[in-house]
Amino acid sequence: MPPSKKRQRLSQRQIRVRDLERDAARRSLNANGMNGSLPPLPSSEEDDVQIENGVESGGIGTLFGHPYGALPYGNIHLVDSSKNHPDYVRHSGLGNLRVLNDEQLLEILSFVDGPSLAGGIVNCSRFLYVAGHHEELWRDLVLRLWGEIGFDVPDKTHADGEAEKQSDGVQVNHNNSGCWKDIYALNHCKSKKSSHHPEKHKPVSIQGIYSDTFFRSWLCRSFAYHPSWLSTHTVQTIDHSKLTTKVFLEQFEETNTPLLIKGASSSWPALKKWNAQYLIETTRGKSFRATSGAAPLPAQFTMDNYSKYCKSATEEAPLYLFDRTFAAKCPQLLDDFDGALKESCPFWSCDAEHGHDLFGLLGEERRPDHQWLIIGPKRSGSCFHIDPNCTHAWNAPIIGRKRWIFYPPGVTPPGVHPSPDGDDVCMPISLGEWFLTFWDAHVERRSHPDVRKRPLECTACPGDVLFVPHGWWHLVLNIGDSDSGSFNDKGMSVALTRNYVSASNLSDVLRFLDTRKNQISGCRDRHEAVQPDELASEFRKALSHVEHCQQAADEEKKDCDSGHARLKGRWTELLEMAEAEAKKGWGCAAWTDIAQESFCSIPEKKNVEHKSSILERAKLQQTMDSNNTSATSSSCEVFTFSFL
């Protein structure tokens, strides 16, 4: 029998409560800058879920395979609204909470514990089912409970495949369904010492969910590569066999120019030995640190668990394994490349005559962090940044290719908004968001009239090594082995990187250590490392330290003979030259005040507090960028980070 259409008479009190609720809702919407006219709640008649053959009707088909069926909000205009309000699923599923936008709703849900979320909230309504399965909610629950101590990741029990209809007609997505709820369930049972083995969660696709918040974060992770993203090669490239130390130093380090050295690491044992199984076995019992700019906390993973995570991660900004202690924890991994590096790339040997890896003079414990093992799933990577402490770096992909985009020192990439002193940077929260939002603006920059201000791009393959000069902005996307962009290609991407100071950047490093103390990184969380306040003086001391060797004794004699009664250390001359250079100013435009930068000149607001001016600049640049960029469904979300 159809439910009665007769309206119930409301008491005076009920009317007052209703009016108060409406008033509060209107004020809340206005406060959020939204339209205050609240659509009516559906009548009880509309509350009936319409199911045809087990699949809900009334919406339009899934466009992009969001596991829970969410579509961009704009699709709501295509809905036949003759029967129901087009956003009926949301309104009926949230009741008075519908005054919140989806971001606010997720914020509130982030306070809910796992059992209440899984056992209560997601069962309340279809909309809450989708919201309560937002991948990041489950990730944050896991990280808060077990991030620091480590947690297990279940095997991906279901083979990748198309969404499938169950016997009851409900559409279940095995594919691309994420993993954090499964990780939560497994570790929850373990912590309760339960012998229960939770089944893999199977998302149900819901029709009638229109949400940029849910859709955008999925889109920013599951995009297919556009061929044009990978096709440009403008980084200078030299075959390893043709590169001499002299050419590298004079034409690339001295001129601070990126260089792709083809085949430079092809002789490294790591190239032949490293695969997931080898890494798992070699690192057994050790854990590795992985972080994401979007996650509240870091996570400790064993290699086995991280490899499983790489196979199933679907969140927008996946946790990226960036481990600085791999060499001490697993010396075998160091042996797999360190000796071979000295032979294949003598310009990066720490014994080199020209003065390479000078921070090494501080000693392994006292120097700032300098080498990392980098592992991530496909589509993971590094958002735009400049390397720490004015260092140069090399980066060698061992498994899987990497796509690189460089912007020259002093030229800020589109979508990136540093504060005038460089202490903070606002930028899109994920690589996907940057590519989907700022690609067209980037393409325009390729034809900047001043060629020195154009970006450079390349793809580095296993076997190649890339030289990353100091002060260059760079973004790195792990693109696996095929250009197909298939979401099923989910293996780990593995790389090695080292950052260094040599004769060519020493003057900038000294100037940086003297003048940008709060941007010094790589030492603050290690008490044995030299801390920012002392780093400049300790580094100078190390450079002018006299080596007690025959050479020093001979030099002493020589100096005495020529009337200069002082000892000279091996690098004293280098230091003196660098000090003189540093006094003159920056050798590299990256650290000159961003306010003076000419390319992206943004009108400075007078009398604006420093911190708020970052946001002002971000908003202003966003408007400028969006005027130059074709619209996507994604809005630019910015976040701020400080150097650690």
Ligand X SMILES: O=C(O)CCC(=O)C(=O)O
Q: Helix, strand or coil for residue 547?
A: coil
240 Cβ contact list (under 8 Å, min separation 6): 261, 262, 263, 264, 266, 344
Smallest gap from residue 542 Cβ to ligand X (A): 24
If residue 238 lies in a helix (H) or strand (E), which one and from where to where? strand 236-239
Smallest gap from residue 477 Cβ to ligand X (A): 8
Is 181 a binding residue for ligand X by CB under 6 A? The answer is: no
Is 302 a binding residue for ligand X by CB under 6 A? The answer is: no
In this complex, which beta carbon is closest to ligand X, that of residue 137 or of residue 429?
429
**Beta bridge partner(s), residue 495:** 374, 397
Smallest gap from residue 26 Cβ to ligand X (A): 47
In this complex, which beta carbon is closest to ligand X, that of residue 125 or of residue 256?
256
Smallest gap from residue 513 Cβ to ligand X (A): 19
Smallest gap from residue 84 Cβ to ligand X (A): 47
- Print burial letters for 96-108: b (CB count within 10 Å at least 16), e (below 16): ebbbbbbeebbee
For 400-552, strand residue ranges (E) read 401-407, 417-418, 424-428, 456-460, 465-468, 473-480, 492-500
In this complex, which beta carbon is closest to ligand X, that of residue 90 or of residue 474?
474
Q: Kindly give the pairing relationship between strand 371-377 and strand 381-385.
A: unpaired
Burial bucket for residue 480 (CB in 10 Å: 0-12, 13-18, 19+): buried
Is 621 a binding residue for ligand X by CB under 6 A? The answer is: no
Smallest gap from residue 495 Cβ to ligand X (A): 5
Q: Are 319 and 366 in contact (CB under 8 A)?
A: no
Is 387 a binding residue for ligand X by CB under 6 A? The answer is: yes
In this complex, which beta carbon is closest to ligand X, that of residue 333 or of residue 393?
393
In this complex, which beta carbon is closest to ligand X, that of residue 69 or of residue 469?
469
Greatest alpha-carbon pair distance for the chain in Å reads: 113
Taking the CA atoms of residue 614, residue 619, residue 621 and residue 623 in that order, the dihedral angle to the nearest 10 degrees is -170
Is 474 a binding residue for ligand X by CB under 6 A? The answer is: yes
Is 283 a binding residue for ligand X by CB under 6 A? The answer is: no
Is 395 a binding residue for ligand X by CB under 6 A? The answer is: yes
In this complex, which beta carbon is closest to ligand X, that of residue 220 or of residue 495?
495
Please give the size of the binding site for ligand X, defined by CB under 6 A. 11
In this complex, which beta carbon is closest to ligand X, that of residue 137 or of residue 393?
393
Smallest gap from residue 395 Cβ to ligand X (A): 6
Smallest gap from residue 77 Cβ to ligand X (A): 39
What distance lies between CA 276 and its chain's CA centroid?
22
Smallest gap from residue 259 Cβ to ligand X (A): 15
In this complex, which beta carbon is closest to ligand X, that of residue 128 or of residue 476?
476
CA distances from 436 to 192, 219, 430, 431, 629 (A): 43, 9, 10, 9, 10
Specify the stretch interacting with ligand X by CB under 6 A; choose among 134-142, 145-153, 304-312, 381-389.
381-389
Written as six digits, the tokens of 535 are 């780093």
Q: Kindly give the pairing relationship between strand 401-407 and strand 456-460.
A: antiparallel
In this complex, which beta carbon is closest to ligand X, that of residue 395 or of residue 504?
395
Is 476 a binding residue for ligand X by CB under 6 A? The answer is: yes
Is 471 a binding residue for ligand X by CB under 6 A? The answer is: no
Smallest gap from residue 478 Cβ to ligand X (A): 7
In this complex, which beta carbon is closest to ligand X, that of residue 174 or of residue 474?
474
User: Which of these, 25, 19, 60, 20, lies nearest to 39 by C-alpha position?
Assistant: 25
Q: Are 406 and 474 in contact (CB under 8 A)?
A: yes
In this complex, which beta carbon is closest to ligand X, that of residue 441 or of residue 475?
475
User: Which of these, 475, 467, 551, lies nearest to 502 by C-alpha position?
Assistant: 467
Written as six digits, the tokens of 405 are 């985009």
In this complex, which beta carbon is closest to ligand X, that of residue 206 or of residue 374?
374
What letter represents residue 452's amino acid? R
Written as six digits, the tokens of 267 are 């002789």
Q: Which of 393, 399, 578, 600 binds ligand X (CB under 6 A)?
A: 393
Smallest gap from residue 57 Cβ to ligand X (A): 45
User: Which of these, 258, 626, 603, lies nearest to 406 by C-alpha position?
Assistant: 258
Q: Kindly give the pairing relationship between strand 465-468 and strand 392-399.
A: antiparallel
Q: Helix, strand or coil for residue 404?
A: strand
Burial bucket for residue 6 (CB in 10 Å: 0-12, 13-18, 19+): exposed
Taking the CA atoms of residue 195, residue 198, residue 199 and residue 203 in that order, the dihedral angle to the nearest 10 degrees is 170
Q: How far apart, in Å, do the first and last CA atoms of the chain sit?
A: 65
In this complex, which beta carbon is closest to ligand X, that of residue 138 or of residue 512?
512
Smallest gap from residue 407 Cβ to ligand X (A): 13
Smallest gap from residue 389 Cβ to ligand X (A): 11
What distance lies between CA 379 and its chain's CA centroid?
10
Is 381 a binding residue for ligand X by CB under 6 A? The answer is: yes
Neighbours of 420 (CB within 10 A): 16
Smallest gap from residue 460 Cβ to ligand X (A): 9
**Given the structure tokens 């899109």, which residue do they identify?**
428
Q: Cα separation of 642 and 644, whole Å?
A: 6
Smallest gap from residue 199 Cβ to ligand X (A): 35
Contact string 357-376 vs ligand X (x = CB under 6 A): -----------------x--
Contact string 398-417 vs ligand X (x = CB under 6 A): ----x---------------
In this complex, which beta carbon is closest to ligand X, that of residue 79 or of residue 427?
427
Specify the stretch interacting with ligand X by CB under 6 A; choose among 33-41, 252-260, 379-387, 416-424.
379-387
Q: Which of 382, 629, 632, 634 binds ligand X (CB under 6 A)?
A: 382
Q: Are 510 and 582 in contact (CB under 8 A)?
A: yes
Specify the stretch interacting with ligand X by CB under 6 A; choose among 220-228, 236-244, 380-388, 502-510.
380-388
Is 188 a binding residue for ligand X by CB under 6 A? The answer is: no
In this complex, which beta carbon is closest to ligand X, that of residue 394 or of residue 571?
394
Interaction residues for ligand X, span 491-510 (CB under 6 A): 495, 497
Binding site for ligand X (CB under 6 A): 374, 381-382, 387, 393, 395, 402, 474, 476, 495, 497
